[in-house]
Structure 1
Amino acid sequence: MKFRRKVYDQLLAWKRRYDGSTAAMIEGARRVGKSTIAEEFGRNEYRSYVLIDFSEAGKGLLEMFDNFGERPDDLFMYISAQYSVKLYRRESLIIFDEVQKFPRARELIKSLVKDGRYDYIETGSLISIRENVKDIVIPSEEKKMRMYPMDFEEFCWAFGEDDLVDLIRTSFSELRPLPKSLHLRAMLLFKQYMMIGGMPQSVHAYLRNDRDFDAADDVKGDILELYRDDIMKIPASYASKVQSIFDQIPSFLSKHDKQVVLSDVTKGSTIDRYADTFFWLGNSMICNECFSVSDPDIGFSGTEDRRRVKCYMGDTGLLVTHTYRENGSVDPEVYRRIIDGEFNVNKGMLYENAISQMLVASGHRLFFYVLYDREAHRNEMEIDFLLSVGNAVDGRIIPVEVKSGPRYSTVSMDRFRKKFGDRIERCYVVHPAQLKVVDGVIRIPPYMAMCI
């Protein structure tokens, strides 16, 4: 089962624009579909292609890169013979899959691109981790592309709901709600997106098995184990810290403010001691980090406070399995309660994680804002996400709050608008009801978050 992925269009644009003058680098977490899309691109857009999987490459091939990397004639001859593929000048693609497993191949990209005979796509997990690049010269001849789990729009495409997605985008731009029947249909798709997630193998298992949650859950469980295996391979100096944070993500997100409290991990811990931990989780793209800002103005990085962080799972379907899987499976009752909107399942955690996933897939970095009232010993304002539009000179901010239930307060948003109104482009409250505009605040159903 093939899925339509947006990164394919990015690859087409890369091929047209650079015409062999740079390699494409697809970065992403494990199992998001990097190898599949690279191979599909090679099959469709070139006369021939070769996929070299460095996680399985034999000793002979690796030695060829070491010994003949600077002699491309010999290297190409060996690759062609090893894979029984004829290579055609300017009509063939060579894919370096899981290139972080063999950094030497990545280092050779500079000379291979300069040679100019073929095009190159690199794919990899944990590409930016320091341990994988410390001994090589990172080539500048790379066009990086980030690939995430399927976003909500891609998820809808997989279900054949192309027309509904188009209507959602039109309705959002015109600030008018969908007809009730289509709203209910879109909400059901969104709930499935929360439960199944966007990992292609999980979506494939779900659809192939007549929308069976157990089939999808088996795949998600395997992916979580792969992540744990990856964690165990990182330097021992901080592997246990990464494991601790990863295991407790559901616990952190179950709390009201969703923030990571390091004292809950290890007594007396500080953010400095966990710097490598969050570096690893963020760069592996297993998690989406969301940092606090002290001054909610354009250029969030200038007032970013890394001592306060929320750590969302990169895929909400994986979060469901991570949270609720016991004895090898998730109780079907959990899925029923999510579909029915029952509140004894922590729906707020799932909603907020799904919105974070949708925002990241749309290209946003995640920040949040909290103003603590010392006299009242409580938070005066809590804004779940702060986004920016425009540039550093005339840019504006977009506050976003996420509400999972039909009854909620907008006190924080109201106070935020009163205090920072001159900086705001527009405000959104994501809620499980129809789109409506109330006192200048745009209240949208969660399936429209992909449009922000």
Structure 2
Amino acid sequence: MYLRRKIDDYLTQWKNNENRYPLIIKGARQIGKTESVKHFADRNYESVVSINFALEKQFQMILSDGYDVENIIKNISLIDPSKKFIANRTLIIFDELQELPDIATSLKAFKLDGRFDVICSGSLLGINYKKIHSNSVGYKTDYEMFSMDFEEFLWAKGYSESHVNEMLEHMTSGKPFSETELMVYKKLFLEYCVLGGMPAVVKQFIETNTFSETLEIQRQIQLDYEEDIRKYAEGLDQAKIASVYRSVPAQLAKENKKFQLSKIDKKARSREYMGCIDWLKDAGVVSVCYCLEYPELPLKGNFDDSKFKLYYPDTGLLIASLDEEAQIDLRANKNLGVYKGALYENFVAEAFLKQGLGLYYYKKENGTLEEDFFVRTSNELVPVEVKANNNRSKSLRQLIDNSNYADIKWGIKLADSNIGIEQGVHTFPYFCTFLLKRYLAEQN
């Protein structure tokens, strides 16, 4: 069972480009990179030469005679003569790139040679990407992949582009959803929050139509992440990296969600941990939301990198990290207390990340003003508030009404409610979050 992914269309466009470069697909472990590439390859190439440097260690010797195409092909054929190299009809897949990062040096030769298409993929857990980039700069194309987003989940459940377009039409017109639409999409969204977007988890759910065994799969993925910390985090304190990763759920449960090292270790110093946080971010297993210096444009360069919040890029893994009853409680829509707000905030951060939107928040030093997220149109700054209850959005109102915030004319509230636009506050149900980038483009 193959689950349709957004990378499918990207790969087709890549192949249709006559001047295509070797492609490097980056992303965290178990998000579906290899499966998507092989699905594409089997449908578009007469011959597919697939090499997994982690499982087939004998191929780590293929660079022994240099980085030119002829020698690499010769060595691959020596190790496995069944692999066929047909000019202009062959895709070479170098998988688990982190096990042989030097293969990136050969991408220039493959591009100049032009006879074979090349796709590299690998988990960021272990990819020394700075080295890979320097070895192939100017002769590769990068694509960053994530676990499934809500739109891909809808596809897996049998919904089509027309349903997604109708949701966007509701947002742009301000027309509320019907009771039926609201009920169905809320149920689907709740399922997605519990499951997250890991393909193995979603497949298990689709095939059985139950949540049975999904938690076990999620927890195994988390154990695999921690195993990769031990395997790949060279030159850093692996225990500190693991402690940061494990502390994210508890830190999000605090009223002040700013990540505090003192919650890990009372004697912790920033300089001892920043490399750990960077490693987890580069590995794709946490995302970092920075505090703005002031709510104004531009966003880049206007933040304090010592103040930040950490999220999991897959909310399903966040829920799986809580106690065993958390999944059941969320599915039953029980009150999860402090965690309910944290879960929805994490979901919004995840949706922003997967849309390519930056992660920024703001908190005034005296605590009188705090906003969860910010996005932008071409010339406006748009505050985004995530509400776990139906209380009024005081900070959002203050940002819109105060002339000191000249770049802010309106704001977005994401809540467990229907669509509504009133006094500059555009309210959308949580399940619309994956469409925000498209909605913002309509506002320009």
> TM-score normalised to the size of structure 1?
0.90
Displacement, 1:83? 6.5
Match among 406, 412, 416 for residue 399 of structure 2: 416
Q: Deviations over 1:38-85 (max 9, x none)?
A: 1111111222212211111223x2212222433x22422443561623
Unaligned runs of 5+ in 2: 437-444
Give matches, 1:296-311, under 5 Å.
296-311=295-310
Structure 2 residue aligned with 1:447: 431
- Counterpart CA distance in 2 for 1:17 and 1:175 is 39
Give matches, 1:377-388, under 5 Å.
379-388=367-376
Structure 2 residue aligned with 1:372: 365
Residues 101 and 128 in structure 2, CA contact (< 8 A), matched pair in contact too: no
Displacement, 1:252? 0.6
Q: Which moved more, 1:312-321 or 1:268-277?
A: 268-277
SS in 2 for 1:335: helix
Give matches, 1:34-53, under 5 Å.
34-53=33-52
Residues 48 and 93 in structure 1, CA contact (< 8 A), matched pair in contact too: yes
Displacement, 1:284? 0.8
Structure 2 residue aligned with 1:201: 200
Structure 1 residue aligned with 2:16: 16
- Counterpart CA distance in 2 for 1:340 and 1:83 is 56
Q: Which moved more, 1:162-171 or 1:2-11?
A: 162-171
Change in 2 beyond 3 A, CA 1:83/1:272: farther
Letter in 2 for 1:307: S
Change in 2 beyond 3 A, CA 1:45/1:198: same
Give matches, 1:212-291, under 5 Å.
213-233=211-231, 234-235=233-234, 237-291=236-290
Give matches, 1:12-411, under 5 Å.
12-20=12-20, 22-59=21-58, 61-70=59-68, 72-80=69-77, 82=80, 84-126=82-124, 130=128, 133=131, 137-162=135-160, 163-211=162-210, 213-233=211-231, 234-235=233-234, 237-324=236-323, 330-331=324-325, 334-345=326-337, 346-373=339-366, 379-390=367-378, 395-405=379-389, 407-411=390-394
- Counterpart CA distance in 1 for 2:46 and 2:432 is 40
Q: Which moved more, 1:85-94 or 1:226-235?
A: 85-94
Change in 2 beyond 3 A, CA 1:80/1:408: farther
Change in 2 beyond 3 A, CA 1:421/1:135: closer
Residues 27 and 125 in structure 1, CA contact (< 8 A), matched pair in contact too: yes
- Counterpart CA distance in 1 for 2:18 and 2:276 is 36
Letter in 1 for 2:135: V
Q: Which moved more, 1:110-119 or 1:270-279?
A: 270-279
Residues 125 and 228 in structure 2, CA contact (< 8 A), matched pair in contact too: no
Structure 2 residue aligned with 1:430: 414
Structure 2 residue aligned with 1:2: 2
Change in 2 beyond 3 A, CA 1:167/1:384: same
SS in 2 for 1:188: helix
- Counterpart CA distance in 2 for 1:119 and 1:426 is 47
SS in 1 for 2:202: helix
Displacement, 1:32? 0.5
Moved over 6 A (4+): none
Displacement, 1:359? 1.1
Letter in 1 for 2:347: A
Structure 2 residue aligned with 1:327: none
Letter in 1 for 2:356: G
Displacement, 1:276? 0.8
SS in 2 for 1:369: strand
Change in 2 beyond 3 A, CA 1:79/1:183: same
- Counterpart CA distance in 1 for 2:134 and 2:300 is 29
SS in 2 for 1:422: coil
Residues 23 and 143 in structure 2, CA contact (< 8 A), matched pair in contact too: yes
Letter in 2 for 1:248: S
- Counterpart CA distance in 1 for 2:119 and 2:333 is 43
- Counterpart CA distance in 2 for 1:369 and 1:274 is 23
Residues 238 and 276 in structure 1, CA contact (< 8 A), matched pair in contact too: no
Aligned residues: 431
Residues 429 and 441 in structure 1, CA contact (< 8 A), matched pair in contact too: yes
- Counterpart CA distance in 2 for 1:424 and 1:270 is 36
SS in 2 for 1:323: coil
> TM-score normalised to the size of structure 2?
0.92
Q: Which moved more, 1:266-275 or 1:148-157?
A: 266-275
Residues 320 and 327 in structure 2, CA contact (< 8 A), matched pair in contact too: no
Percent same amino acid at aligned positions? 26
Q: Which moved more, 1:147-156 or 1:36-45?
A: 36-45
SS in 2 for 1:108: helix
Change in 2 beyond 3 A, CA 1:135/1:3: closer
Displacement, 1:196? 0.2
- Counterpart CA distance in 1 for 2:110 and 2:252 is 45
Residues 251 and 260 in structure 2, CA contact (< 8 A), matched pair in contact too: yes
Unaligned runs of 5+ in 1: 325-329, 374-378
Q: Deviations over 1:128-162 (max 9, x none)?
A: 85587289724321111110110110011101122
Change in 2 beyond 3 A, CA 1:85/1:120: same
- Counterpart CA distance in 1 for 2:63 and 2:332 is 56
Residues 109 and 139 in structure 1, CA contact (< 8 A), matched pair in contact too: no
